[in-house]
Each structure stands twice: as C-alpha cells, then as structure tokens.
Structure 1
Amino acid sequence: MIQFFKSRVAAVGLAVTFSVFGSGLINSDVLAQTTIPQAKAAIVDVTFILNSSETWKNAEKEMKARVDDVQKEIDVKKEQLKVRADELKRQQTILAPDVFQAKAREIQKDQLGLQREAQISNAKVNDVLNRMRGQLRGVIVKLAANVAAEKGMNIGFDRNNVIFFNDGMDITKEVLKRFNASKTKVEITVDKNQ
C-alpha cells in the first residue's frame, strides 16, 4: 500500500512538473513577443528645477509679501501690548496689588495668544508652500516623462537619489526650459480662519 502511494505521488509530481515547464514550451511564442524592453534611464534634478524655476520664484515672492503683511499685523499688536505693559508699570504704585496682578496676568495671556497666533501663521505658510511644491513637482515629473520619451528613455530617476551617472542621461536643463516655458501657475490660498 505504501509503495502504491509513493508511485502515485511521483506520478502526480511528474504531471505537475510537465504542466509547469511544458506550458512554457507551448507558450514560448507568447513570451518572445512580450520581452522586457532595455532600460534607458533619464536623470532629472527635480529640486534644482523647482528652486530655479520662475514659477517657484514668483510664488515665493508672493508668499513673502503675504508673510510680511501678517508680520506687520503682529508687530502692531506687539506694540499695543508693550504700551499696555508700560502703562501698567506706571500705575503699579496706585493700583491695589490684586488688581495689578490681574491686569499683569491679562497682558501675559494676550502675549501668549500673540505668540500662538504667530506660530499658527508660520505653520499655515509652511503648509501652503509644501502643497505648492507638491503640485509643481507633479508638473515637473510629467514634463520629465515627456522629454525622456522623446529621447527614447523609459525610466526616470531623481538626481538626489542617484550616486553616479553618465552626463548624457541628465535631462534637467531641457525639463527646466520647458517648465519655465509652460508658465505654470499655482494658486496661493491661505485660510485665515484655521
């Protein structure tokens, strides 16, 4: 009985082997038609393009103007707090100690609120800049894919992730040229209510 079982297992194993390897022989024409193309790599310095592009420079300039406006508002509020604090110091001798302490705590609370407002404002600006960079990176990648395809290249790498390469593989200048020519616009929206 054990001998019968072993011969059955061997027969099944042979059948499985033939079906796996034999099917490759039958479908060799199909495999020959679906050969993997030779990899021809393109190198693109996405960060360089982003930082050098007119689109990014214009967006940064606009954001800097907005940041300056917010900073001016914060500076006005700081000055108002300073005036209140100076006035409270002058009144310290004529105010009851508990009244003085209550007013001092109120000014400290307002100072902390102003610091928090500045932190939130900075976080919003950074969030907007990061979203803009992400959108622009997407445009750069699409342009790089087009340039690479035109040059017969079928795989792309960001320069920051490559240790070495042949200079002929670098399409950064062409992509930057097309990116600047595309006049890509990004909408800068900062939600003041968040």
Structure 2
Amino acid sequence: MLRQSRSQIYLFLIALLLVVSFGFAQQATLKIGIVNSQEVLEKSIEGKRVMNQLSQKDQENQKKLAKMDEEIRQIESKLNTQRMTLSNEALMQLNSDLEKKKTARQRFAEDSYREIQDLTNRLFQKIQRELLPIIEQIGKDFDLDIIFDLRNSGAIYFNPRVDITAEVIKRYDASKSAGK
C-alpha cells in the first residue's frame, strides 16, 4: 500500500511537471515587435513636417538673438571708442542701455528655449497619439504579443525581423494622406 502511494505521488509529480513545462513552452512563443520612434520622426511625412516646423522656429529665434547680439556689440563698441569724449550722463545712459539690452537678450533666449521645448512636446505628443492606434493595429495584424519602442526599451540587440518601423511609417503616411 505504501508502495502504491509512492507510485501515485511520483506519477502526480511527473504529470504536474509536464503541465508546468508545457505552460512554459507555451510562453516561449511570445511574439515581439520593435518600433524605432526616432526613425518614424525622421522618415514619416508628418515627422519631417514637424521637424521642419521646429527648425524654422529655432532659426527665427536665432536670427532675433543675432540681431540683439549685434545691438549689444554696437553699444559696447560705442562705449569703448567714445568713453573719453562722452559726458558722465551719456556714459551712464549707454551703460544702462547696455544692461537693458543684455537683460532683454537673456530673457528672450530663456523664453524662446521654453517655447521651443513646449512646442516640441506638444507636437511629439500629437504624433504619439496618432501613432498609437496604427501601432496597435499592426500588432493585431502581425499577431504580436508586445511591441517595444527601441528608443525607450533599452534593447541592445534585436532581430531585424521583429522591426515594424517601416510598416508604421507607411501606414502613418497613408493615414495623413487620406486625412487631407
């Protein structure tokens, strides 16, 4: 009887082991996809448009800063060349103007940086919201269990076969073309 109990326990343990190992084997067939969000930004029509918009805004700000820098240089030059011939009152006025210009330049630089950051965040979040349903649909179409963003995943290596970036770009561009 004791022998029969041991046999049943062994059979039970073997059956349990088979069930558990079968469960692990099932999990091993996890299908993964990778999307490179940076590449989507660089290569999609909308991503290029957004990057161009940000670049133009930055160039406008740089031109304004260059103009302000030139005004500051002119005042500094005037102070250096005419220091001996100007009255104390005129010198004080030029120094005051110089400080005001420097302060205005610093404020503009800080404000324009914040403005670019805010615009960048708004535009990128908009693109992410538009991409999410496309990526989800690709996941369903390709029967993927999980999709990682290469930029944020920490992945060091992946098989190019799981990269769905080109498909995301193609469908995103198509959705933008159809929306016009």
TM-score range, shorter chain: 0.5 to 0.7
Q: 1:112 to 1:146 in 2, by over 3 A?
A: same
- The correspondence for 2:56, drawn from 65, 90, 114, is 65
More helix by share: 2
What's the RMSD between the two structures over aligned residues? 2.7
Q: Which runs of 5+ in 1 are unaligned?
A: 1-35, 185-194
Give the secondary-structure state (helix, strand or coil) at the position aligned to 1:183: helix
CA shift at 1:102, angstroms? 4.9
CA shift at 1:39, angstroms? 4.0
- The correspondence for 1:41, drawn from 32, 35, 38, is 32
Deviations 1:85-136 (A, max 9, x none): 3333444223344652453143123213212212321221122112212221
Q: 1:47 to 1:75 in 2, by over 3 A?
A: closer
- Paired with 1:94 and 1:81, the residues of 2 have a C-alpha distance of 20
CA shift at 1:145, angstroms? 0.9
- Structure 2 residue aligned with 1:133: 124
The question of 1:175 aligning with 2:168 is answered yes
- The correspondence for 2:140, drawn from 126, 138, 149, is 149
- Paired with 2:160 and 2:79, the residues of 1 have a C-alpha distance of 68
Are the aligned partners of 1:44 and 1:157 in contact in 2 as well (CA < 8 Å)? Answer: yes
- Paired with 1:148 and 1:72, the residues of 2 have a C-alpha distance of 45
The question of 1:120 aligning with 2:137 is answered no
Q: 1:167 to 1:70 in 2, by over 3 A?
A: closer
- Counterpart code for 1:107: L
Give the secondary-structure state (helix, strand or coil) at the position aligned to 1:156: strand
For the pair shown, which has the larger CA radius of gyration, 1 or 2?
1
- Paired with 2:125 and 2:54, the residues of 1 have a C-alpha distance of 16
CA shift at 1:140, angstroms? 2.2
- Paired with 1:67 and 1:165, the residues of 2 have a C-alpha distance of 35
Aligned residues: 148
TM-score calculated relative to the size of structure 2:
0.67
Q: Which runs of 5+ in 2 are unaligned?
A: 1-26
| Identity score, percent | 24
TM-score calculated relative to the size of structure 1:
0.63
- Paired with 2:159 and 2:66, the residues of 1 have a C-alpha distance of 52
CA shift at 1:181, angstroms? 1.8
